[in-house]
Amino acid sequence: MSDYGSSGSGPNANAGWRSAGYDQPDESDPWRSPELFQGVLTKRVFAFLIDAVVLAVPVILACVFIAVFGVVTLGLGWTLFWIVSPASVIWALVYYGASLGGPHSATLGMRAMGIELVTWSGEPGYFVLGAVHAFLFWLSVSMLTPLVLLVGLFNGRRRLLHDIVLGTVIINSPALAAQPARP
């Protein structure tokens, strides 16, 4: 038995290195669990809009503070406006990393819509995965135009391009909890 093969039992016993860790889990199969993927794209759109508001509120408050501070300091405080753009990017990455890497594996918008992020193997997200997920989303949309979002319409798991690259799946949370435990 080699280090790259399977354990020697099961349906993929003779598949060799091709089956090492790449077996499709049952919870990410749209044919076995279609309730996990029903309406996910629509929910993702509304979750994105909620998250955009959550991200924008602190940035708007910071801009108002800097504007008022600039008036009080006779224009000197307005030099702080250069911080707003990089701070917004850092804030977004921390927000997505912390929320997708948190105990719910979902942002506030995703929690409101009842969806969550899991890895291909069914594990919850973690901080770096959440931050990279957000970064790749913005990168793909900005470089490949928003038409890249149409990828989700053509696959059974309703995964977008950045989901495919990272090996993540967005599923319905209540449907996951309603499933009977598998032995």
Predicted confidence (pLDDT) per residue in 10-45, tens digit: 334 444 433 344 444 455 555 667 788 888 999 999
What lies within 8 Å, CB to CB, of 162 at 6+ separation is 133, 136, 137, 139, 140
CA–CA separation, 152 vs 164, rounded Å? 10
* Contact present, 131 and 96 (Cβ < 8 Å): yes
Q: Is residue 17 part of a domain?
A: no
Structural domain containing residue 145:
33-173
Establish if 137 belongs to a structural domain: yes
Domain count, the chain: 1
CA angle 173, 151, 137 (to 5 degrees): 70
Q: Which two tokens stand for residue 61?
A: 């408050």
- 20 within a domain of the structure (yes/no): no
Is 59 part of a structural domain of the chain?
Answer: yes
In a domain, 139, yes or no: yes
Query: Is 25 a member of any domain?
Result: no
pTM of the model: 0.78
Q: Is residue 72 included in any domain, yes or no?
A: yes
pLDDT of residue 176: 63
Task: Tell me if 125 is assigned to some domain.
Answer: yes
117: closest CA among 4, 144, 127, 87? 127
> pLDDT tens string for the chain (183 positions)?
333 333 444 334 444 433 344 444 455 555 667 788 888 999 999 999 999 999 999 999 999 999 999 999 999 999 999 999 999 999 999 999 999 999 999 999 999 999 999 998 889 999 999 999 999 999 999 998 888 889 989 987 889 999 999 999 999 987 566 666 555
